[in-house]
Amino acid sequence: MDHWPKDVGICAIHVVVPSLYVDQTDLERYDRVSEGKYTVGLGQKQMGFCTDLEDVNSLCLTAVSQLVENNGLSYTDIGRLEVGTETIIDKSKSVKTVLMKLFEASGNFQVEGIDTTNACYGGTASLFNALSWIESSAWDGRLAVVVAADIAVYAKGNARPTGGAGAVAMLIGPGASLVIDRGLRGTYMNHAYDFYKPDLSSEYPVVDGKLSVDCYLNALDRCYESYLSKCHGGDAGLDRFDSFVFHAPYCKLVRKSLARLYMNDFVNCVGAKDENRKHQDYWAYVEKTFVELSRTVFQDKTEPSLLLASRVGNTYTASVYSGLASYLLSVPPERLPGKRIGVFSYGSGLASSMFSIRVVDNGKLSGLIDNLKKGVGRLDERTRLAPEQFEDVLDVRQKSLHQAPYVPTGDRGQLFPGTWFLSGIDEMHRRYYERNE
């Protein structure tokens, strides 16, 4: 329709990584597991984490303020602000309302949007809401901001090495360098208890690991089938995409996911019966074969997207967009224009979607890449802590959860400059934030 704004999509991205990390080889030794269990078996190198100085509010404050500053924006330019997160610290007050603190000086309080929550899918739902607003009669010509942020921590055990923390803020509007393909979206929703957080007194989830992987891969099948059914003409499979970015609970699952799509293309090509490929037993039988057959495709299309996933870990709602950022920084800028990027987003419980992004050379792409480097470049400036220190931090977080009044005990000197942090909680559970200079 000719009345839609042109080239609506992502105009800018900013990534926030924690200033602290633990090395996965150190964790292997500390946990007394076999060498390579986390680094090879899960595909993880490092894991970012936060002390009690940071929560989901502070992560989002940092992400949005730095996005605005790095891109020379005014808060009056923003008409919608959406937050995707599953890290809930208040059952009523949204993270978005806390972020309005940033808008006070500008006098702009007319900002639509609110939080969206469903495991790791909230960031994608928020992105879709922002896109819909810009393409609706409610749009007032201003830009939208979507911020996805989470702190992923687990109880002691097999799941703990799959944690992480971080945030991604995205500026959404017309004339974007990363254009969302209109009308090409596959979605699959269902009911499952694969990962959930019923205990509000703890940050730790309840996880059925095997079921979660099965749900993820089944959702991937369904979304891929739905997406391809909407493609008309041209390539109708992985050849359609120059890159494919997946939600990354851990890197090894992403490797299997690309092989899964490769298998689906193969099965469709030879005309095998659908009921065979949708059984998990069938996948288990052929998995190793297709992982090997798709090795070159994986190295070309998906491995470049795993920089942040391997070095920061699972960031829940921010994970798939960290993958997008990683891909954009892993490919020479001159080779990006014209590329189509497939995106698969999954949130347990379950909600999932697949969509695609076209990279457009509109004179703004180099600026997007340069600003993106400012956040991701912090990876090499982080402080490495020992596993004992990492466990101490998690113990403090767990014991202090919902305490009021409370003054965080973390070391402010370890925070990056420009980081917002929790300065204290009063007796009425009201949280106060300051910025590290």
Angle among Cα 53, 54, 59 to the nearest 5 degrees reads 150
Annotated catalytic, 247?
yes
pLDDT at position 282 is 67
pLDDT at 1 over 50: no
Residue 350 predicted with pLDDT over 80:
yes
Res. 274: pLDDT tops 80: no
Question: Is 86 designated active site?
Answer: yes
Active-site option among 54, 203, 247, 251: 247
State the residue for tokens 């329709």.
1
Q: Give the C-alpha distances (Å, rounded to integers) separating 91 from 13, 64, 95, 101, 181.
A: 29, 22, 11, 19, 35
Exactly one of 28, 86, 112, 303 is catalytic; name it: 86
How far are the Cα atoms of 20, 170, 351, 354 from residue 188, in angstroms, in the given order?
A: 36, 24, 6, 9
The residue from 11, 50, 60, 120 that is catalytic is: 120
- Label residue 197 by pLDDT band (50, 70, 90): very high
Instruction: Tell me if 11 sits within 8 A of 173, measured CB to CB.
Output: yes
Q: How confident is the model at residue 235, as a pLDDT?
A: 67
Rounded Cα–Cα distance for residues 317 and 258 (Å): 20
pLDDT at site 268: 77
Please report which confidence band the pLDDT of residue 275 belongs to, taking 50, 70 and 90 as the band edges. Answer: low
pTM for the predicted model, two decimal places: 0.95
